[in-house]
Amino acid sequence: MLKQAANDPASRAARIPVMEIFGPTVQGEGMVVGRKTRFVRTAGCDYRCSWCDSAFTWDGTGKDDIRQLTPDDIIRELTALDGSAPDHVTLSGGNPALLPQLGALIAALRAAGAAVALETQGSKWQDWFLEIDELTLSPKPPSSGMTTDWGALERIALRLAQGGRRFSLKVVIFDEIDLAYASEVHRRYPGIPFYLQSGNDRLGEQDRMRLLPYLLERYEWLVDRVVADPGLRDVHVLPQLHTWIWGNKKRRLER
Amino acid sequence: MLKQAANDPASRAARIPVMEIFGPTVQGEGMVVGRKTRFVRTAGCDYRCSWCDSAFTWDGTGKDDIRQLTPDDIIRELTALDGSAPDHVTLSGGNPALLPQLGALIAALRAAGAAVALETQGSKWQDWFLEIDELTLSPKPPSSGMTTDWGALERIALRLAQGGRRFSLKVVIFDEIDLAYASEVHRRYPGIPFYLQSGNDRLGEQDRMRLLPYLLERYEWLVDRVVADPGLRDVHVLPQLHTWIWGNKKRRLER
Ligand code: SF4
Ligand code: SF4
């Protein structure tokens, strides 16, 4: 029996700590905003951002929801969501870049014809970054309470460039200090597609119709600041569409 | 004097009927949603869509605003907007594809280092389509009251493919019949990036805060329908962000 299990490819593959699998839904932010996609959210993060909207992936409150799944398990669940093979999958966290074993899932998804998108803060490298179709590095601004390791970010950007892999940069903005930080990121990487995103610091607001005018006001503020700044060229300014539609629900992109 | 004028390249270039020049602002829709850009809106359209939000470009109400400008005039005005050279310009209408002379402006913009985006309904071809960085063909669904010339659209798609020019397709959706039309467009061009956009049929609503919940509801409806339809793969679903922020103002992307 042991031998049989060892010969089964699914059980040989290292398992992935999965928090939730959901969709099809629509990507609410960043370089593939609006894309119909399915999500796999992994558990665990090396950061502790003050305004993290996925704190349940690392603060212990979601630990009973974590399942250790193989790539085959995950693809089976992604397919079962609506009975059709996934054509686009977004890997989210937490920080999925903590998981070297994610490479096997990415390879299996791409072999099955799905495009793969992933976002990470740029604190850790994984070789499978080179296999991601739509990779976003999202370094965290001062309002997060985190400190950017510019050397780590630079090493990642360099390896992606050497590997010929296109990626985008995204910074979430809450205030003027964050905006200055974003300008610094853009100054360091002028050739990389750059996305500024208005942040949501009202994570406790349960009434979506009260949240909406506030989110709109924050987006307007950011648009105003960016369009008035001739130093911010070749940039995109986006809201988080999913919070506009679904508010602060935990599984916020699931219906 | 006549001879001197004839030797002046600016006066030799055919003039372009321009309705408005504005920005920097943010692109509110489609494949470059969120992009910081400047707009040149040309006058004239071969269509008469029932829900056209730029009817002043063709219904006579804006005729006193039309100016006949050379490419040099236009680039000068684009630069004067904030004193910096434009890095991204969106050509809008009306239907800019009615204007063969737009090619000179596009060439001048690209020579000056600006990327150029353009949207047209796909009823007319221009050779300068091959010079557009971000070209969107937006055939009009039944709710517009227009009838799609599938042959014209096909000839344009073919020439773009032969010219190696990437483009996207976009359909604005108001109802189930439009959605069926969009599925037909997507079925005809499965490999072309496809954008579904929720339409705004409350063009008379002047109170932005009353318009907003309605626009949100229309976007939610469209997202629900698209995520539930396994036939709609490899698609994006987007609202018109500018109407969320700026409502139904005529120069709706200008502050
Ligand atoms: S990096 Fe992302 S998941 Fe981690 S704490 Fe920050 S916001 Fe949350
Ligand atoms: S094609 Fe565009 S500009 Fe022309 S009538 Fe229709 S919506 Fe208006």
Residue A68, both tokens: 């250790």
pLDDT for position A130: 98
* Average pLDDT, rounded, for chain B: 91
Residues forming beta bridges with residue A169, ordered by sequence position: A137, A194
> A234 vs B88: CB contact, 8 Å cut-off?
yes
Average pLDDT over residues A4-10: 46
Burial of B37 (0-12, 13-18, 19+ CB in 10 A): buried
At residue B40, the 3 state secondary structure works out as: strand
Distance A103 CA to ligand 2 centre (A): 47
What pLDDT, in 10s, does the model give residues B205-247?
A: 878 888 888 899 999 999 999 999 998 999 999 999 988 888 7
**pLDDT above 70 (res A6):** no
User: Which residues have C-beta within 8 Å of that of residue A54, sequence separation ≥ 6?
Assistant: A41, A45, A92, A93, A94
pLDDT for position A206: 79
On whether the CB atoms of residues A209 and A177 are closer than 8 A, the answer is no
On whether the CB atoms of residues A226 and A237 are closer than 8 A, the answer is yes
Q: Which residue numbers of B have CB closer than 8 Å to A's CBs?
A: 23-26, 32-36, 82-84, 87-88, 195, 209, 212-213, 216, 219-220, 223-224, 226-228, 230, 232-239, 241, 244-245, 255
Residue A3, both tokens: 């031998």
CB atoms within 10 A of CB B43: 25
Residue B85, both tokens: 């050279």
Residues in chain A closer than 8 A to B171 (CB atoms): none
Pick the ligand that lies closest to the CA of residue B144.
2
Our CA angle for B146, B148, B149, nearest 5°, is 130
- Its ipTM equals 0.91
How long, in residues, is chain B?
A: 255
Q: Report the chain B residue with the minimal C-alpha distance to residue A113.
A: B234
Average pLDDT over residues B138-159: 97
At residue A49, the 3 state secondary structure works out as: coil
What pLDDT, in 10s, does the model give residues A44-65?
A: 999 999 999 999 999 999 999 9
- Ramachandran angles phi, psi of B174, nearest 5°: -110, -25
Across the beta sheet with A235-238, the strand order is: A67-69, A16-26, A36-42, A88-92, A115-120, A134-137, A167-173, A194-198, A235-238
Which of the 8 DSSP states describes residue B95? -
Q: Give the closest-approach CA distance of A207 to chain B in angstroms.
A: 13
On whether the CB atoms of residues B208 and A3 are closer than 8 A, the answer is no
Residues forming beta bridges with residue B168, ordered by sequence position: B136
> A87 vs B233: CB contact, 8 Å cut-off?
yes
**pLDDT above 60 (res B106):** yes
Phi-psi region of B250 (alpha: psi -120 to 50; beta: other; left: phi over 0): alpha
**Confidence category of residue A164, pLDDT binned at 50, 70, 90:** very high
Cis peptide before A30 (omega within 30 of 0): no
Return the residue in A89, A244, A254 with the most chain B beta carbons within 10 A, the one to mutate for interface testing.
A244
pLDDT for position A237: 97
Which of the 8 DSSP states describes residue A15? P
Q: Give the Cα separation of A148 and A203 in Å (integer).
A: 23
What pLDDT, in 10s, does the model give residues B45-103?
A: 999 999 999 999 999 999 999 999 999 999 999 999 999 999 999 999 999 999 999 99
Q: Give the Cα separation of B198 and A22 in Å (integer).
A: 23
Helix B208-227, helix A208-227: angle, nearest 10 = 100
Q: Give the Cα separation of A71 and A102 in Å (integer).
A: 8
Q: Does B54 count as an annotated binding residue?
A: yes
pLDDT for position A170: 98
For the whole model, what pTM was predicted? 0.92
Q: Give the closest-approach CA distance of A26 to chain B in angstroms.
A: 7
Residue B44, both tokens: 């004239």
- Alpha-carbon dihedral of residues A52, A57, A59, A61, nearest 10 degrees? 120
Share of chain A above pLDDT 70, in %: 92
**pLDDT above 80 (res A5):** no
When CB atoms are compared, the residue of B26, B32, B237 closest to A26 is B237
Residue A228, both tokens: 């008035």
> A24 vs B227: CB contact, 8 Å cut-off?
yes
